[in-house]
Amino acid sequence: AQSVTQLGSHVSVSEGALVLLRCNYSSSVPPYLFWYVQYPNQGLQLLLKYTSAATLVKGINGFEAEFKKSETSFHLTKPSAHMSDAAEYFCAVSEGGPGNQFYFGTGTSLTVIP
């Protein structure tokens, strides 16, 4: 069975500082992994996805994530936080299957301090 753990429900960083949001997964098969961002009063928007092509994945808005199989992790990073990065971030895993079911983590709320 798949599951996703996001460590830290709330993360605060100063503007210009490194952003690191943690995601660990459990999966019985090679997973596909996704990071989504949710801005206030909006739906979820895809940031990036890992589909087994390359372990370091670059996404939109300067975010990237590295797939580490040995650590079952897919942490999200950004070198320099902007005020506009303040949002809720969700990690999700899919093992495929015809229904393409996703399993989401509980989310991490990112606050950027000016």
Residues of this chain that interact with another protein (CB under 8 A) are 9, 32, 34, 36, 42-46, 49, 51, 90, 94, 96-102, 104-107
Of the candidates 104, 86, 94, 97, the one whose C-alpha atom is nearest the C-alpha of residue 36 is 104
Smallest gap from Cβ 17 to another protein, in A, equals 25
Q: Which residue, 26 or 80, is less far from another protein as judged by CB?
A: 26
Q: Which residue, 17 or 44, is less far from another protein as judged by CB?
A: 44
Smallest gap from Cβ 114 to another protein, in A, equals 25
Those residues whose C-beta lies under 8 Å from the C-beta of residue 42, and which sit 6 or more positions away, are: none
Smallest gap from Cβ 29 to another protein, in A, equals 11
Smallest gap from Cβ 14 to another protein, in A, equals 25
Q: Which residue, 72 or 102, is less far from another protein as judged by CB?
A: 102
Helix (H) or strand (E) holding 74: strand 73-78
Q: H helices within 55-98, ranges in order?
A: none
Those residues whose C-beta lies under 8 Å from the C-beta of residue 6, and which sit 6 or more positions away, are: 21, 22, 23, 89, 90, 91, 105, 106, 107, 108
Q: Which residue, 66 or 104, is less far from another protein as judged by CB?
A: 104
